[in-house]
Structure 1
Amino acid sequence: MSGLDDVIAAETRLSEVDGRNGRLVICGHSLDALAGQQSYEAVLTLLLPDVLSVCEETLRAELAQARLRAFQEVASLDTDLVSLSVTEALRALMARLPDGEDKSVALLQIAAPAVFVPALIRAKAGQQPIPPHAGRGHAADMLAMLTGNQPGDEQIRALDTYLVTVSDHGLNASTFTARVVASTRAGYASAVLAALGALKGPLHGGAPGPVLDMLDAVGAPEQAAGWVAAELGKGERLMGFGHRIYRVRDPRADALKSALNRLGASGGMDAHRLALAESVESAALTALRAAKPDRALETNVEFFTALLLEALGFPRDAFTGVFAAGRIGGWVAHSREQIETGRLIRPQSRYVGPKAA
């Protein structure tokens, strides 16, 4: 039972992860029908229909007001906070927000990472944080607060695609953590803080950045096969390949690759960088199938996440924070679902220590 594999810990209407067939369903909608087609706000109305407004336009306006409220916390940024990693500083800022189980708390929790992450990135670069704008959608405002410029339509669509794609994914480590805390009736903020702690671990939320390190190390498409072979020969892991659940290609990888192709050079996607990535992906898949034919090591969400967030201007040390900005919708939704059961999560353990004298 190590890792609780195959243990059913909850019934949920939120997402179905079909690892055998490579499908992700969110609230009855396939990922293909949502990613690149719907805004993050639209997906939030599916995840939290009994908490948030079910009208997308109304929710967009309410989230905008929540972002303005979250920005008030940015005024308290100090050198000690800015010196932390983006993930640790995000966690500290989130801890300053009020707790509870009502709509206002849910809205503020969901809105805050989209404000805090760009503010922290700018502060760490010695720049002034940019306040939110009530007239923008969630993804557009997050990009504008990062760069200071009005983003293009394809850039907005690309970030929306990412936020939607990572919004929920079954009982992953951070989501399960959120449900455990929510089951104690501690409140949404407490559940989210616990989830952020789980996300900080490199085995859960820390892999997209190293994908770019790998691309930097390869350098050129013609060097991909030799570099991959050398790494596997040393027993090293190739970042962006393999997944605990999926036995085939991660469907989120295709959703993000499509977003990258739509983004193009005008949206910030360097064609040479994409060509390098595709060469590395092809070389890695070929080598992994030959070296480990008994294991399903296909491209996962982290591979194209790294390229997409880089193209949109996010530094690699902030990728975990951007992930949190998308997954927080799922964290709050799972917290709500767990609260509705009214049941404290309290599993049993099997004692394997020494016998009492």
Structure 2
Amino acid sequence: MSEELKKGLEGVLVAESSLSFIDGEAGRLVYRGYDIEELAAEASFEEVLYLLWNGELPTREQLETFAASMAEDRAVDERVLDTAAALAEADEEPMAALRTLASFLSSDDPESDVAADDLDAARRKGRRVTAKIPTVLAAFDRYRRGEEPLSPREDLGHAANFLYMLTGEEPDDVAEETFDQALTLHADHGLNASTFTAMVVGSTMADLYSAVTAGVGALSGPLHGGANQDVMEMLLDIDAAGEDPVEYVERRRSDDDGWRVPGMGHRVYSVKDPRAVILERKSEELGQTSGEAKWYEMADAIEHHFQAAGLAEKGIAPNVDFYSGTVYYQLGIPVDMFTPIFAMSRVGGWIGHTLEYQAENRLIRPRARYTGPTEATFVPLDER
């Protein structure tokens, strides 16, 4: 009997992990035993990174040391900034630019020649690449806007420093807390496509920079990253047309049978994504403080329409992207930078899973069922 084919590895167990647990039916997400709601409310992104990479929450002293090291690691070499400038001048797509810059960051790593199986060195490499990605992203965006990049500030936290480097203004407490929470919510989510890609690369004992670069490439595909950008572009279209959001959605659904409301539904969750619950509150809060409540209100109207139509009961409920786009937009982040921001957070999970897998490594080598001919007759070139 032939083996059952599992397209997309649906339901296939390929590894054991203690990083994150997802209960899709209950709408629950857990990092290392801690519910995501508690971590988002109580822990900083730096604490969450430490938790993912080390298996436990840090003490105050450990956190201070870790956060200080992260801050010191933010600066990048001038050659990296020159590359960011060249990519901006070439009008490169932000995710493609990040893919190039993430790879180039290894050239400036003091432990670039240390063997990949030195997991302590790998963890330090992971910390450095995580610290530098916000710097290169902010530099790239400022270059393409005709502005010079800003040097990272060691007196600001990871989230606040990125917003400062991007916008040139130190964020207020609400903006800093909101963005820090958004980073935590996106940090890990099991063996999604980009995390699995990073882990596969890591299983060859390639270094962390190769794994992270591969993760960026996987995340750039429209079936994985990008839904939050699609959500925001939909809301901008609705606003520009002055159309009712529910009428807009129903018109698009009737005009194009293949069109789906972006940010609705999830491969794992059959109920509302717990991360969307948190980001919905932050979107509403930002709207109230900024006077731009329309973005939240439009998204909220669409969600309630889906609930009233009974679609939420069929699993078509908001995922993390449905409200994250409105949050990022209100923080002053350009729409086409939303997926790079996703990468800036998910790098924590990429590194955590790669380190975990490499600790008891086995090369990941699946098989494909062959469907081609087995007895073809070779014809010499001159006779074809």
Aligned position for 1:23: 28
CA contact (8 A) 1:67 1:115 kept: yes
Q: Which residue of 235, 250, 255 corresponds with 1:229? A: 250
C-alpha RMSD of the superposition: 2.2
Distance 2:277 2:77 in 1: 33
Q: Please give the alpha-carbon distance, in whole angstroms, between the structure 1 residues aligned to 2:222 and 2:291.
A: 26
> How far apart, CA to CA, are the structure 2 residues paired with 1:128 and 1:334?
35
Aligned residue pair count? 353
Instruction: Tell me: CA distance 1:4–1:325, structure 2 relative to 1, closer, same or farther (3 Å).
Output: same
Matched, 1:343 2:362: yes
**Structure 1 counterpart of 2:380:** none
Equivalent position to 2:294, from 272, 293, 313: 272
Structure 1's 12 and 75: CA in aligned 2 closer, same or farther, altered over 3 A? same
2:22 alignment partner, SS class:
strand
Structure 2: which amino acid aligns with 1:224? P
Equivalent in 89, 111, 116 of residue 131 of structure 2? 111
Aligned runs of 1:170-319 on 2, under 5 Å?
Answer: 170-219=190-239, 223-233=244-254, 234-235=256-257, 236-266=259-289, 268=290, 270-287=292-309, 289=311, 295-319=314-338
Is 1:10 equivalent to 2:10 in the alignment?
A: no
Q: Which residue in 2 is equivalent to 1:159? A: 179
- The match for 1:78 is 85
1:111-131 deviation digits (Å, cap 9, x = unpaired): 122111111111111111111
Q: Does 1:68 align with 2:61?
A: no
SS in 1 for 2:73: helix
Query: Alpha-carbon deviation of 1:259?
Result: 2.2
CA 117–142 in structure 1, closer or farther in 2 if over 3 Å, else same: same
Q: Report SS of the residue matched to 2:205.
A: coil
Deviation of 1:265 (Å)? 4.0
Indicate if the aligned counterparts of 1:228 and 1:283 stay in contact, CA closer than 8 A: no
| Counterpart for residue 381 of structure 2 | none
Q: Distance in 2 between matches of 1:70 and 1:141?
A: 18
Distance verdict in 2 for CA 1:50–1:252, change over 3 Å? closer
**SS of residue matched to 1:16:** strand
Where does residue 322 of structure 1 map in the other structure? Answer: 341
How far the C-alpha of 1:309 sits from its partner, in A, is 0.5
* Conserved? CA contact 1:253–1:304, under 8 Å: yes
Which structure's CA Rg is the greater one? 2
Give CA-to-partner distance per residue, 1:224-252, whole Å, 9 cap, x none.
Answer: 22222212212111111011111111111
Amino acid at match of 1:243: H
Q: CA 1:248–1:50 in structure 2 vs 1: closer, same or farther (change >3 Å)?
A: closer
Alpha carbons of structure 1 residues 262 and 209: separation in structure 2 relative to 1, 3 Å? same
Amino acid at match of 2:303: E
Aligned residue type for 1:276? M
One-letter identity of the residue aligned with 1:119: A
Contact 1:253 1:303 in 2 (8 A): yes
Q: Please report how far the alpha carbon of residue 305 of structure 1 lies from its aligned counterpart in structure 2 after TM superposition.
A: 0.8
CA contact (8 A) 1:91 1:193 kept: yes
Alpha carbons 2:279, 2:327 under 8 Å: kept: yes
Structure 2 unaligned spans of 5+: 1-5, 107-111, 377-384
Distance 2:285 2:311 in 1: 29
TM-score by length of 2: 0.86
Give runs of ≥4 in structure 1 deviating > 4 Å: 50-54
Letter in 2 for 1:15: S
Deviations 1:286-311 (A, max 9, x none): 44729xx7x41111111111001101
Q: Deviation at 1:355? A: 3.4
> Counterpart of 1:225 in structure 2: which amino acid?
V
- 2:45 matched residue in structure 1: 40
Residue of structure 1 in register with 2:99 after alignment:
91
Point out where structure 1 has 5 or more consecutive residues left out of the alignment. Answer: none
SS of aligned partner of 2:26: coil
Could you tell me whether the CA contact under 8 Å between 1:93 and 1:116 is conserved in 2?
yes
